[in-house]
């Protein structure tokens, strides 16, 4: 793993570290060959032409995607979870909607640009 990503994960405050580590493990389980680096100041995972990032915020953890369209199904299935244009804001105290997060991650990481 990229040393900068490892340092980021290790330095997340204790109240959000478990959630960040769960998201990291979920992404790596789905895409074990994903390239992970520190982009935009947060761990970013790339596979094909897609990416997701994990960000430690003051009171929650965000999962950023490479486009709002990847969240359409998630928003319908998880109306109580705060979302932005292309991100999901998860509170450490709430249950993790793993199945729906897998759908989002697969949607965004599975992007392939058409061949020319």
- For residues 4 and 116, the model is more confident at 4
Average pLDDT, the chain: 92
Is the confidence at residue 17, as pLDDT, over 70? yes
**What is the pTM (predicted TM-score) of this model?**
0.91
- For residues 40 and 43, the model is more confident at 43
C-alpha 15/C-alpha 46 separation (Å) is: 27
Number of DSSP helices (H) and strands (E) in the chain, helices first: 4, 5
Q: Has residue 84 been placed in a domain?
A: yes
pLDDT score, position 68: 87
Is the confidence at residue 113, as pLDDT, over 60? no
What is the three-class DSSP state of 110? coil
Q: Has residue 89 been placed in a domain?
A: yes
Confidence of residue 53 (pLDDT cuts 50, 70, 90): very high
Q: Which domain holds residue 97?
A: 3-109
Q: Which two tokens stand for residue 41?
A: 């100041």
- 107, with CB counted inside 10 A (0-12, 13-18, 19+), is buried
Question: Is the Cβ–Cβ distance between 34 and 23 less than 8 Å?
Answer: no
In degrees rounded to 5, what are phi and psi of residue 104?
Answer: -65, -50
Confidence of residue 48 (pLDDT cuts 50, 70, 90): confident
Q: Has residue 35 been placed in a domain?
A: yes
Domains in the chain, number: 1
CATH code for the domain of 102: 3.90.1150.200
Q: Has residue 59 been placed in a domain?
A: yes
Confidence of residue 46 (pLDDT cuts 50, 70, 90): very high
Confidence of residue 112 (pLDDT cuts 50, 70, 90): low
């Amino acid at each position: 793993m990229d040393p900068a990503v490892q340092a980021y994960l290790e330095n997340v405050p204790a109240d959000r570290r478990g959630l960040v580590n769960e998201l990291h493990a979920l992404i790596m389980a789905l895409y074990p060959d994903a390239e992970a680096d520190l982009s935009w100041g947060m761990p970013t995972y790339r596979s094909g032409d897609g990416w997701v990032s994990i960000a430690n915020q003051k009171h929650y953890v965000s999962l950023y995607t490479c486009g709002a369209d990847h969240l359409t199904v998630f928003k319908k299935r998880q109306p109580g979870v705060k979302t932005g244009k292309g991100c999901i804001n998860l509170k450490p105290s709430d249950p993790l909607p793993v199945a729906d997060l897998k759908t989002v991650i697969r949607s965004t990481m599975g992007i392939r640009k058409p061949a020319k």
